Amino acid sequence: MHILLVEDDDRVAAALRPALHRHGMTTTRLARGRGAVDHLSGVDVVLLDLGLPDVDGVDVCRAIRAVSEVPVIVVSARGEVDDRILGLHSGADDYLVKPYDVGELVARVHAVYRRRRVEAASADGAPDVLEVDGVSVDLTRHTVTVGGVSVTLTRKEFQVLALLASSGGAVCTRSRIVAEVWGRSWAGANRTLDVHIATLRTKLGRPEMVQTVRGVGYRLGLPGGG
């Protein structure tokens, strides 16, 4: 996987690149935003710093989105809610606040990459079915089978499962699941998510398939696999 890293901070780039390389990724680094759209060829995921010296990262994101469907993860030192909304409305696929954990970043990179591939496959008219270790999620018909046996889920349970399945074994953070399935966070969100995970495990009949990643979130797949 090839990453375009748009980051003006030399120290951040110097720390990040070896970490990404250790995870099997290659990188191109740009220290400025201007001209980033000219470097998208062969790029699988863009990591875009919002605070750039020459142009606002939000404008870079819009410029990229105008010419390409490449997944963009906005990275920002600012943790303001306004920035988050701005980042997502500029066409970014995900958003990370500095300082972040590299493992979390790598998981997000895999997640947006796989999600975009799923979208591309469905746009191509390919069957819109995600398969993970015997669990089959049909995104068009909203049906689920486990080992070929149909399982009935509520709409929210299905959405949680589809999100986990589309991440292809990468961890989905609790906050991302809540944001994508419920569209907002609220005081009882964590408890509600716990309940949905518990019923999902029961209904799938294979509780070990929905793995808890302590302190982070959940991933779908057999323990030790993927």
97 contacts Ca ion (rule: CB under 5 A): no
Minimum CB distance to Ca ion, residue 10 (Å): 10
Euclidean distance between CA atoms 61 and 153, whole angstroms: 37
User: From the list 49, 83, 93, 157, which residue makes contact with Ca ion (rule: CB under 5 A)?
Assistant: 49
Minimum CB distance to Ca ion, residue 90 (Å): 16
User: From the list 51, 121, 159, 192, which residue makes contact with Ca ion (rule: CB under 5 A)?
Assistant: 51
Pick the closer one to Ca ion by CB: 8 or 133: 8
- Of the candidates 71, 98, 54, 53, the one whose C-alpha atom is nearest the C-alpha of residue 4 is 71
User: From the list 1, 8, 39, 119, which residue makes contact with Ca ion (rule: CB under 5 A)?
Assistant: 8
Pick the closer one to Ca ion by CB: 12 or 213: 12
Pick the closer one to Ca ion by CB: 6 or 162: 6
Pick the closer one to Ca ion by CB: 105 or 220: 105
Compute φ and ψ for 61, nearest 5 degrees: -60, -45
Euclidean distance between CA atoms 55 and 50, whole angstroms: 9
Minimum CB distance to Ca ion, residue 216 (Å): 25
**How many residues of this chain bind Ca ion (CB under 5 A)?**
3
- Expressed in angstroms, the distance from the first to the final Cα of the chain is 17
Minimum CB distance to Ca ion, residue 99 (Å): 13
- Of the candidates 119, 140, 29, the one whose C-alpha atom is nearest the C-alpha of residue 70 is 119
- Of the candidates 112, 104, 107, 120, the one whose C-alpha atom is nearest the C-alpha of residue 87 is 112
Q: Across 26-147, where does the E strand assignment appear? A: 26-30, 45-49, 72-76, 94-97, 129-132, 135-138, 143-146
The residue with its CB nearest to Ca ion is: 51
Q: Which residues sit at the interface with Ca ion, rule CB under 5 A?
A: 8, 49, 51
